[in-house]
């Protein structure tokens, strides 16, 4: 769980290369599969990277071909608004599956840009589909994931509409806490913001200025502490409270 335990250590020497021993063991897809099935899944995957900050795993112009699982690092997906601005549509972390939005489309719907040094597993989608036909358990898992994605996206709509800037920010920090845990004792947890404030603002549907103000406000309320690229959450319970109010 500690964040600095390197990636190398996770590959026992003598192990076969590639995804055979994926750090995350294809976290989101693999759980619940037999070893044999897992092996089948791993046989179609390819490791990619490491990508450096700012590089793209895929871009909007490219034909949709594969999904990607994040082994280490983090990724943002962004598109262009009608006005020509960059719009951040999501953040992904270790174990997350990226590219679901493009399923059934001709091309990717976003640029998937890396926020730090990042390695991923590529899963060619047509092969994944074929595999699903032989592995009902895997098929089930994929459907489940897509359902989750739909639910999550749906709740983001409510999130975006009916909540104030402060509430959105708190919700975001809460999610970030769960996904990207660094330290996390009962009353105090701290999050490293791998993405820029501008990206966060865009993701939350705010101007950077408004985000900045919201941060300051929460700090003055004693709920968080803003150290630039690191935010400390002092008062975790008040989060859920604020969200429900």
Residue found under tokens 């408004």: 210
How far is CA 202 from each of CA 43, 120, 170, 206, rounded to the nearest angstrom? Answer: 38, 25, 15, 6
Binding mask 130-169 for a second copy (x = CB under 8 A): x-xx--x--xx-xxxxxxxxxx-xx-xxx-xxx-------
Tell me which of DNA, a second copy, none is bound by residue 198, counting a contact when its beta carbon lies within the kind-specific cut-off of 5 to 8 angstroms. Answer: DNA
**Is the distance from CB of 128 to CB of 142 less than 8 angstroms?**
yes
Residue 165 touches DNA, criterion: CB under 7 A: yes
Tell me which of a second copy, DNA, none is bound by residue 207, counting a contact when its beta carbon lies within the kind-specific cut-off of 5 to 8 angstroms. Answer: DNA
**Is the distance from CB of 26 to CB of 42 less than 8 angstroms?**
yes
Residue 222 touches DNA, criterion: CB under 7 A: no
Candidate list 79, 180, 212, 235; residue touching DNA; CB under 7 A: 212
**Is the distance from CB of 203 to CB of 172 less than 8 angstroms?**
yes
Q: Which residues contact 78 (CB under 8 A, 6 or more apart)?
A: 86, 87, 88, 89, 110, 111, 113, 199, 202
Q: Which of residues 55-94 bind a second copy (CB under 8 A)?
A: 81-83, 87, 89
CA nearest neighbour of 118 among 180, 51, 214: 51
Sheet containing 86-93: which strands, arranged edge to edge? Answer: 56-58, 111-114, 74-80, 86-93
Region near DNA per CB under 7 A, out of 7-15, 123-131, 134-142, 205-213? 205-213
Residue placing its CB nearer to DNA in the complex, 38 or 204: 204
Residue 109 touches DNA, criterion: CB under 7 A: no
Residue placing its CB nearer to DNA in the complex, 127 or 212: 212
Tell me which of DNA, a second copy, none is bound by residue 109, counting a contact when its beta carbon lies within the kind-specific cut-off of 5 to 8 angstroms. Answer: a second copy
Residue 235 burial class via C-beta count within 10 angstroms: exposed 0-12, middle 13-18, buried 19 and up: middle
Residue placing its CB nearer to a second copy in the complex, 30 or 49: 30
| Separation between Cα atoms, residue 10 and residue 50, nearest integer Å | 15
Name the residues that contact a second copy, by CB under 8 A: 81-83, 87, 89, 100-105, 109, 129-130, 132-133, 136, 139-140, 142-151, 153-154, 156-158, 160-162, 205, 243-244
Name the residues that contact DNA, by CB under 7 A: 164-166, 196-198, 205-216, 226, 228-229
């Amino acid at each position: 769980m500690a964040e600095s335990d390197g990636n190398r250590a996770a590959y026992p020497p003598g192990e076969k290369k590639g995804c055979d021993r994926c750090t995350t063991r294809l976290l989101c897809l693999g759980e619940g599969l037999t070893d044999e099935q897992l092996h089948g899944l791993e046989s179609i995957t390819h490791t990619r990277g490491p990508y450096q900050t700012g590089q793209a795993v895929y871009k909007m112009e490219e034909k949709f071909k594969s999904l990607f699982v994040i082994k280490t690092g983090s990724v943002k997906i962004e598109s262009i608004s009608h006005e020509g601005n960059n719009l951040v549509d999501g953040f992904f972390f270790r174990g997350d599956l990226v590219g679901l939005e493009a399923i059934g489309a001709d091309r990717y719907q976003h640029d998937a840009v890396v926020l730090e040094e990042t390695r991923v597993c590529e899963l060619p989608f047509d092969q994944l589909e074929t595999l699903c036909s032989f592995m009902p358990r895997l098929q089930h898992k994929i459907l489940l994931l897509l359902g989750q994605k739909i639910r999550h996206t749906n709740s983001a709509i409510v999130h975006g509409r009916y909540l104030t800037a402060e509430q959105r920010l708190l919700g975001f920090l809460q999610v970030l806490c769960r996904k990207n845990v660094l330290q996390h004792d009962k009353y105090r947890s701290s999050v490293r913001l791998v993405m820029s404030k501008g990206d966060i603002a865009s993701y939350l549907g705010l101007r950077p200025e408004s985000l900045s103000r919201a941060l300051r406000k929460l700090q003055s309320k004693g709920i968080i502490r803003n150290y630039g690229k690191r935010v400390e959450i002092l008062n975790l319970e008040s989060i859920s409270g604020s969200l429900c109010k």
